[in-house]
Structure 1
Amino acid sequence: MAAHGKLRRERGLQAEYETQVKEMRWQLSEQLRCLELQGELRRELLQELAEFMRRRAEVELEYSRGLEKLAERFSSRGGRLGSSREHQSFRKEPSLLSPLHCWAVLLQHTRQQSRESAALSEVLAGPLAQRLSHIAEDVGRLVKKSRDLEQQLQDELLEVVSELQTAKKTYQAYHMESVNAEAKLREAERQEEKRAGRSVPTTTAGATEAGPLRKSSLKKGGRLVEKRQAKFMEHKLKCTKARNEYLLSLASVNAAVSNYYLHDVLDLMDCCDTGFHLALGQVLRSYTAAESRTQASQVQGLGSLEEAVEALDPPGDKAKVLEVHATVFCPPLRFDYHPHDGDEVAEICVEMELRDEILPRAQNIQSRLDRQTIETEEVNKTLKATLQALLEVVASDDGDVLDSFQTSPSTESLKSTSSDPGSRQAGRRRGQQQETETFYLTKLQEYLSGRSILAKLQAKHEKLQEALQRGDKEEQEVSWTQYTQRKFQKSRHPRPSSQYNQRLFGGDMEKFIQSSGQPVPLVVESCIRFINLNGEDPLVEGCTAHDLDSVAGVLKLYFRSLEPPLFPPDLFGELLASSGTPSWRAWGRTMSQSWKPRCPHRRMTWRGSWRLWPALPTRAAQPRS
């Protein structure tokens, strides 16, 4: 029955692990799907905007009627943005994402438009629509590459999780072998005890006849016990190594999972958004500039659209997406340590047999950690510089359109933007942007990979350092205990018995004085003399402030431990009242008169100890603090 119960528990733990891994796989697949949905949403949004620009250019000549129809068409139909349930939820509340909010403000501004010029029609149908198409291509390319990179990171994460399962199975197998070897050892020891019990001779004749046979049997039993003892120690050492590997793998997996969910996913989302908000803002700013220079009546509507453009917030959009898909992007539960069949050890063991193996490993991990930290920091610096350069290239792509509006409001200047030299320059910028983008993705991959390795190395390093510190502390405690025991045994001498029958510390001062015949207890006199000599101890060469404090502490301890106390409780009021006496001598006379009829022996002790302080009379005239 116990074996069946143990089997059911192991199956339950295995089922729990498989469920956890299955849940993680589902989350990872949903993350890929969410990234694809966000990329599709952006591409569809850009296609909607590009189509809007072209149709807007066509209806510009039809004035207010055409503009009103256009606005109603895009407002009433679902469009490409309504192709999925997630898109519908964002579309119902466009303020959730800043690009959708810009789109809603743009439609509202279109309803306010009544007339446009031919120059604005050329701008809308030409550079702005083309720029939106380029942005859509950039978004699709970035999303595809980011998805491939995330798929690679997920495969590495699942591989680490699979290695954790392998380490767990190895640990369980070695632990089972250790348990079986221990059981065999115990059985051999019991058999040896039985043989030893039977070998007791009953008679001298019986011992003479069966002696050699029993001795041979006992020797065989002893060899069997030694053999099984060696086998048990071998399996126990293997079990300890397997458990250490399992714990290290467990820490590494938890660190990798946490790093992926808390850092890598967010960086990949940032990668998907790279340049999108900036480029979209540049297009919309170009549109607002064209509108403002075409008709002054559009100022109010353009102000609203400008506010929406300024509200483009990549971190805010990322936070909103994470909030909507919280179940997909939240980190899973940490992998817990599952001991096998009663194994109570839940930490890395640094035994004497393993210390020579673990210490070089910890040093190797430390060196790798330092090297990896430096490499990751350098890659991160390069990554930030590359991202800044990429954003500058993206921002410079719309400069020609804005410059053409700033030089002249006529349509002739607008036609020059589509000339051959301008097209060649735009082509060069496009090539430069793609090269910078490829280099940025390469560095991002290196940085994410290095940070994942760094997190795993850091987790292993912390575990090993904790284990080594714990082992050093245990060794120091054992060594110090042995040292103090030896020192105590060597230096311990019989202490002479007291010559007085009254306790010095914690006793009655009057009884001690009567018993010893000393007017002032010797401990009080010695301490006061030592303190009065400013730390000059006649018994020990050299004296420090620590020695002086120790002597003062002994004196204070003696007075505090007196029973009854030095000052009787009924003198407490008089003691407080006499604190206002102008001089030390007057205070001494007052206290002497109060003590004299009540406790004469303690009064004599106090007067005797008072005479031992030669420095106090010189301070009698000084004010008391």
Structure 2
Amino acid sequence: MASHGKPRRDRGSDYESQIKEIRIQLVEQVKCIDGQVDFRQQLLQDMSEFLRRKAEINLEYSRSLEKLSDRFSSKIRNSKEHHSFRKEQHLLSPVNCWYMILNQTRQESRDHASLSDVYTSHLIPRLAHIGEDITRLAKKSKEVGVQQQEDLLKLVSELQGAMKTYQLYHNDCLNSEHKLKEAEKQEEKRTGRVSEQTASSPVADRGQRRSSLKKTERLVEKRLKKYLENSQKCSKARNEYLINLNTVNANINNYYINDVSDLIDCCDLGFHLSMGKTLRIYLQAEERVQASRQQGLQSIEGAVDNLDAQADKNKMMEMRSDVFCPPPRFEFQPHEGDEVSEVRSEPLLHQELVTRFQHIQSRLSSENLETEEVNKTLKATLQALLDIIGADDFDVLDAFQSSQSTESLKSTGSDTSSKTSTAKRRANQQDTENFYVTKFQKYLAGRSTICKLQAKRDQLKEAIDKAAISESNVSGRRRYLSRAQSSGESIPRVVSSCIRFINLHGLQHEGIFRVPGSQAQVNEIRSAFEKGEYIIYLNI
């Protein structure tokens, strides 16, 4: 009996320990799901707080950008240049860049205000709704999970009852079997003893022994009947126990493999989808701001690419033609009826003018050569200066290094080197500027000298050429008159008509002796004289 009882106690103890572990697991499952819900609620609260604060920052930033833009925009609107250039609908390229920057700043201000509104009006309420959904679904899922755990524990309790019933009946079966075997042994002993004594014993003793044998047989039959009855009960209890055992194991497996996963899914129902939709709204808002900013920067880049010094100079001079248009020429102011308005090479002054003309011509050639050399140096210096100004002396990526702690020493050395390089470049630029301005001043002075010498040379050349032509005409006329007088011919009518016209109109009219006439007009006059048309006109 003792040997049969010990294993039963061990198996019962194992079951108790196993059931205890299952209970602990089930409790921890509920705690784990509750912890996950609490974690998500905290996550949603942190995200909401972050978005709320970021919305405030974006709104503050938007207002600051708006104030900054309005400050400089109002300054531009109040300027005279703004009204004049706006009226003509064309801007100087640097001003256009400045307008683009201000417009981009205003747009950025509006974008950040919209971003703040998206955070406040859409994202934060959505996160709050997700939190409400999590709490509601977690509560319902927990109720379902607790019910499933209770059903599972109920099956385990039934298994314990079936096991105890099976153990009880099995114990009764073992006892009845033991008693049956004892009775059978007694029956075998008595049957052998009776058979030995029957041959040698009298008839009276024989009957008594037979009666004792029948009692033993009846006991065996009784014990057998009891054993069979207990064995049947044991089999039935074992079957129920095995059925419950398989049912419990199947339910435990189903709960751990399927139910727990489904309960977590029920608790998570829609969470990731809602979070995904919310975060996609966040991404779309941020990407819209980024796209708008990129578009504004591209506009600024286009304006920068269109910086054109020559076009700006032309626009400015066109807009202020009253300032940059050459003034009227100074007219000759005759003194007390003096009508001579040009340089004349009088016979006594002719040689002096020729000498002066030659001196000026020599100076002009020398000045042209010197100014040309200065111009070449000026162009080379200008290109060198532009190269210095346009050199890339700063890499903006260095300012956006993510690692500052590990690169602090390197960045400090790099900053010092960069500042030294910048100082050298600035000094070199200033030296080149000074040299350029010096050469530029010399070039302008030389060009001014050339202009003055050119004007004097041209006027002297014109006077000398006219004097030569006049001298040639007078000599020819004298030779002609002398021949006509010697031959008895009168003065040709064309000559007398020209003389008469010059006497009447020459002093108040630009004639052929002052401004050279066009060859077509000269041919026309010659043809008219040949036909006799101008003779009458000139006489009139």
Q: Normalization by structure 1: what TM-score?
A: 0.38
Q: Normalization by structure 2: what TM-score?
A: 0.44
Higher-RCO chain (CA-CA 8 Å, sequence separation at least 6): 2
Q: More helix per residue: 1 or 2? A: 2
